[in-house]
Structure 1
Amino acid sequence: MSENLSLKTFVITMKASKALEEVTKQDIKKHGMRASDFAILEALYHKGRQTIREISESVLISTGSITYVIDKLEKKELLIRTNCPDDRRAVYLEITDRGKQTMDDIFPKHQLVIEELFEGISESDKETVIEVLKKVGHKASNKE
């Protein structure tokens, strides 16, 4: 019986994803943060002010859980909430100066950990992986 390459690709992708997630979680933990805290701050750090809904969609945290995380980050003065003057239902999140300083310190170190994970992988191979995973992701998204 021949090997099922689709199944093997799936299993290897899932194992690699789990391993990458664990390494990045441990790195973030070293900086005194949880992955959800870091994900929200990182989105605000790179993309600027966003609504809670935009953040929730981009970091894949449910709207129920995200409120708890935002509350904690706000208490630590790492982000602030502001009401949208045009739409009372919308609330904006913005990183504070303290949050920016925190990310200025943490993010370059975190990026280095990620760079080390992909050390020795050619740019061409990285581009191929990106293309393939995008295709699979789009296909999986359309199955919902």
Structure 2
Amino acid sequence: MQDKQGKQTDMITDVNKAQEQSLHLFVVLSRAFNWTSAHVQKDIREYGLNPTEFGVLELLFHKGRQPLQQIGDKILISSGNITYVVDKLEKKGYLLRKPCPNDRRVIYAELTQAGEQFLQEIFPKHREKLAEAMSGLSPEEKEITITLLKKLGKSAEMNFVDK
């Protein structure tokens, strides 16, 4: 009987170790994210933008004209916030709304010439700041980290249950 009890204790200890390790990973991951995000947000603020505005501009810069509805999905913000952000960026002269010629319900956002020039100017500097924030890892470590974080993200997504 002691043998079974010993195995049960070992299994509980292993479960506790795995849970503690997961907790530690979460803390380390959160701290790393917070510090790298702090670098990015500081950089973005220097250009007179907030992270959401920059996300919209960056999406349009790299992907071209986008339906407003899809912008929210791609940068993970609500449709109400998209309207507010697009209004602000339109007032700054960086983008404009264009109706879809085939479907009146669809409105596109696209960069203006001023928005395009602005992103062409700031994006290389932004990439440098990102590289600086990530400079603690070698190129090989970055590739390994990318692979592992994708695996973690997919696993977390698959195991997510919205209750």
TM-score by length of 2: 0.82
Which runs of structure 2 are paired with 1:95-114 in the superposition (5 Å)?
95-114=111-130
Percent identical residues = 42
Aligned to 2:65: 49
Aligned to 2:91: 75
Instruction: Supply the distance in 1 between the matched residues of 2:45 and 2:157 (Cα, whole angstroms).
Output: 30
Between stretches 17-26 and 116-125, larger displacement belongs to 116-125
> Higher helix fraction: Structure 1 or Structure 2?
2
Instruction: Supply the distance in 2 between the matched residues of 1:87 and 1:15 (Cα, whole angstroms).
Output: 45
| Residue 15 of structure 1, aligned match among 31, 37, 53 | 31
Aligned to 1:85: 101
Detail structure 1 runs of 4+ shifted over 6 Å in the superposition. Answer: none
Structure 1 unaligned residues grouped into runs of 5+: none
CA contact 2:60–2:66 (8 Å) conserved in 1: yes
CA-based RMSD of the aligned residues comes to 1.5
Between stretches 83-92 and 32-41, larger displacement belongs to 83-92
How many residues are matched? 144
Following superposition, the deviation at residue 87 of structure 1 comes to 2.1
Instruction: Supply the distance in 2 between the matched residues of 1:48 and 1:77 (Cα, whole angstroms).
Output: 16
Instruction: Supply the distance in 1 between the matched residues of 2:100 and 2:129 (Cα, whole angstroms).
Output: 37
Structure 2 unaligned residues grouped into runs of 5+: 1-12
3-state secondary structure, aligned to 1:45: helix
